[in-house]
Amino acid sequence: MEIIFHHPTFDTQTWLEGMQQQLPGANVRQWHPGDNQPADYALVWHPPVEMLSGRQTLKGVFALGAGVDSILSKLQAHPDMLPNGVPLFRLEDTGMALQMQEYAVSQVLHWFRRFDDYQALKQQAKWQPLEDYRREDFTIGVLGAGVLGGKVAESLAAWGFPVRCWSRSKKDYPGITSFAGDEQLSDFLSGTRVLINLLPNTPQTVGIINSRLLNQLADEAFVMNLARGVHLVESDLLAALESGKVKGAMLDVFAQEPLPSNSPLWKHPRIAITPHLAAVTRPQEAMEYIAKTIRQIENGENPGGQVSLHHGY
């Protein structure tokens, strides 16, 4: 079995040796321009078109992350990049769900216990106890209830918050109210105090967090964007913060990354920023997952994690 690997920033040696260990019978190699030797599987991130196009022997391509938007947009410009019928897989969880839970829960608790307000009071050397927020006024709404959104919703429900989620198809998660489809988006937003975005980047979800959506949230809402920068209209968020509709935001992803130093988001006192690290690929978990999937394909089984090219995620 021949496996080719390309990632612009990962430590290639770790991956070649690690995959070799996972699949001892395979030959795992780094792909270099001009390498047209046969390959059964490709492990990629931002793959050059020539790495994949025309490879009729491929049985599967693995995206080395959870989001496949960058691969699919390249595929749109170069439809021959993925030979007809070759399945595209992505990483499902592989340690990312726990990271997302840590990120989301810690920030929700930060807002809920008003640590942002106390930080502002501290700047003025003011000793001033504030009224507690009540859980019943702190409904959490998770946009995107898939592998990561579902787990985040679950962990916040375990902390006793009222939690709802929004997805394309209806969910049956214990203790979580499910809303599905465009026709239920307004109901989902109405009364949501903390909005957490974990949608994939597709033509249907670009720009979804805009003024129209923000205005439907509960007053003094909080917004957490953990998915993709293009989901958020940054100027609309700034306007909502200005008007007081939104009280605070935590952003991990941005329309332009790295976020330019002159972006007004950096200086805003009620926006917290992290540099796209809410959940990173954990090599060991990812390699085990990919090897398991390859074994399932080789055994003629139907593995999970296959991307729907039709739905774009």
> Among this protein's residues, is 268 annotated catalytic?
no
Check residue 86 and report its DSSP letter. Answer: -
Of 224, 230, 249, whose CA–CA distance to 239 is shortest? 249
CA angle 242, 119, 126 (to 5 degrees): 105
Q: Which is nearer to ligand NDP, 172 or 219 (CB)?
A: 172
Q: Which is nearer to ligand NDP, 54 or 181 (CB)?
A: 181
Q: Which residue is nearest to ligand NDP (CB)?
A: 146
Nearer to ligand NDP, 20 or 70 (CB): 70
Residue 204 beta carbon to ligand NDP: minimum distance, rounded to whole angstroms: 4
Nearest to ligand NDP of 144, 162 (CB atom): 144
**In angstroms, what is the minimal distance from the CB of 162 to ligand NDP?**
19
Q: How far is the CB of 82 from ligand NDP (least distance, A)?
A: 18
Q: Which two tokens stand for residue 287?
A: 């390699």
310 is catalytic: no
Catalytic-labelled residue, pool 212, 276, 295, 311: 276
Binding site for ligand NDP (CB under 6 A): 66-67, 96, 144-149, 166-169, 198-202, 204-205, 226-228, 252-253, 276-279, 313
List, in sequence order, the alpha helices (H) in 143-232.
147-158, 185-189, 211-214
Least Å distance, CB 266 to ligand NDP, is 18
Which residues contact residue 301 at a Cβ distance below 8 angstroms, ignoring those fewer than 6 apart? none
What are the backbone angles phi and psi of residue 197, rounded to the nearest 5°? -100, 120
Q: Which candidate in 7, 90, 193, 228 is catalytic?
A: 228
Cβ contact 161:108 at 8 Å: yes
Cα 259 to its chain centre, rounded Å, is: 17
Residues known to be catalytic: 228, 276
